[in-house]
């Protein structure tokens, strides 16, 4: 059980917000497998406040999604507060997470995402505005962050204290710096250090590839729960294994290729229901290589699936896969999704590191930032 303010989550597992991935279709697909909290892809505060259509299109919830959880991006306390108010009043959300971990240069260049916690005062102002807006609705606010900008500019312990003082219900820590992006290994010791530093629940994030990793993370760090990102790409059934693991069972679901194909079909179908067949199929394409990772399906098959434009075409292609092919167990426990290399230099606004407070600092708020964390 994970307690985030007024919200109780049966299994201490959170689907990480992932831009372009954790839309309503994917959240439903994962929820059909397990239990936990499934966070919507990131939306920008300014886009929401200004009624931007693209932002509104992302705020779609499945009819079975009773707990609506949304991640907001923002750098301006007033916009973030207003956006939190809109989410509570108009969208009936039950949880708001704030993104302070995005490593994308376009974002950090403006002082957003993972760069922002360096400005301790500004971070506090943003969190306080969000909490003040959400409190009348009894909606918990959490923040998600990284260790810091780089090893010489760590921010996570201060961020934890500020989150606690601002009334946040929890803090999620991805055990990497912005400079590391997705490379190397997540530092779970930092998660343990944060747990020791604050009284609010800490959610551990980074490199959970199997359910057993989640249990290990909780045991090693004392985290109140886990946030799973890349480990569920092309494997929504990991949420089944995670739910079992947290109830003391060891389950490793090893679907045959036929079962994976059925999951692919379900995923595509949900996307098409939400977005229409053309866009749904287009969105589905990016998931193909994750689903087929390690299976024998040949290059021609993968290429065709990567161009699929209708459910009928998808069915025809999936019928060509060998349904009996066993799950490629060599893939278990290995990284998937983006990894890349570390950044030599994190792009920051001019003079950013010279002042570590930034109270009242005015940053240009972006309405169309959808690149994620
Ligand atoms: C494709 C992709 C998109 C992401 N988008 C977001 C985002 O919008 N907000 C965010 O806080 N983190 C985002 N992340 C980061 C993840 O939430 C997570 O912190 C990170 O992947 C580390 O966890 P993992 O090792 O379980 O993947 C994204 C990650 C990926 C791979």
pLDDT for 63: 92
pLDDT for 362: 82
For ligand 1, what atom is nearest to the CA of residue 101?
Answer: 11
% of the chain exceeding 90 in pLDDT:
94
Is the confidence at residue 370, as pLDDT, over 90? no
Q: Which residue has the CA at smallest separation from atom 3 of ligand 1?
A: 18
The span from the CA of 344 to the CA of 337, in Å, is 21
pLDDT for 267: 98
Q: Which residue has the CA at smallest separation from atom 14 of ligand 1?
A: 373
Taking only the tens place, the pLDDT of each residue in 223-269 is: 999 999 999 999 999 999 999 999 999 999 999 999 999 999 999 99
pLDDT for 372: 62
If you compute the radius of gyration of the chain from its CA atoms, what whole number of angstroms results? 20
Q: State the pLDDT confidence band at 331, using cuts at 50, 70 and 90.
A: very high
Question: Mean pLDDT, to the nearest integer, of 51-70?
Answer: 95
Residues in the chain: 373
Total-model pTM: 0.97
The span from the CA of 35 to the CA of 244, in Å, is 10
How far does the centroid of ligand 1 lie from the alpha carbon of residue 340, in Å?
13
The span from the CA of 34 to the CA of 12, in Å, is 11
Active-site residue flag, 102? yes
């Amino acid at each position: 059980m994970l307690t985030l303010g007024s919200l109780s989550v049966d299994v201490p597992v959170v689907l990480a917000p992932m831009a372009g991935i954790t839309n309503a279709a994917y959240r439903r697909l994962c929820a059909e497998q397990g239990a936990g909290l499934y966070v919507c892809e990131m939306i920008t505060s300014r886009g929401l406040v200004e009624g931007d259509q693209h932002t509104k299109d992302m705020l779609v919830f499945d009819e079975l999604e009773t707990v609506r959880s949304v991640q907001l991006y923002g750098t301006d306390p007033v916009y973030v507060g207003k956006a939190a108010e809109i989410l509570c009043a108009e969208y009936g959300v039950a949880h708001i997470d704030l993104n302070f971990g995005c490593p994308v240069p376009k974002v950090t260049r403006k002082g957003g995402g993972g760069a922002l916690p360096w400005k301790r005062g500004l971070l506090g102002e943003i969190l306080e505005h969000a909490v003040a807006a959400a409190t009348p609705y009894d909606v918990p606010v959490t923040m998600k962050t990284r260790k810091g900008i780089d090893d010489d500019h760590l921010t996570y312990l201060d961020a934890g204290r500020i989150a606690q003082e601002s009334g946040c219900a929890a803090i999620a820590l991805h055990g990497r710096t912005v400079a590391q992006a997705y490379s190397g290994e997540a530092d779970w010791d930092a998660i343990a250090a944060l747990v020791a530093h604050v009284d609010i629940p800490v959610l551990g994030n980074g490199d959970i590839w199997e359910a057993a990793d989640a249990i290990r993370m909780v045991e090693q760090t004392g985290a109140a729960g886990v946030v799973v990102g890349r480990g569920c790409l092309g494997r929504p059934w990991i949420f089944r294994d995670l739910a079992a693991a947290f109830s003391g069972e060891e389950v490793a679901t090893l679907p045959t290729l036929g079962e994976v194909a059925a999951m692919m079909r379900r995923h595509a179908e949900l996307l098409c229901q939400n977005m229409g067949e053309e866009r749904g199929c287009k969105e589905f394409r990016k998931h193909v290589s994750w689903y087929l990772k390690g299976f024998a399906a040949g290059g021609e098959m993968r290429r065709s699936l990567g161009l699929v434009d209708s459910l009928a075409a998808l069915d025809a292609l999936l019928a060509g896969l060998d349904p009996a092919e066993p799950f490629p167990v060599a893939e278990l426990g290995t990284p998937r999704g983006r990894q890349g290399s570390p950044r030599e230099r994190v792009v920051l606004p001019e003079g950013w590191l010279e002042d570590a407070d930034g109270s009242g600092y005015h940053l240009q708020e972006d309405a169309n930032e959808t690149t994620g964390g």
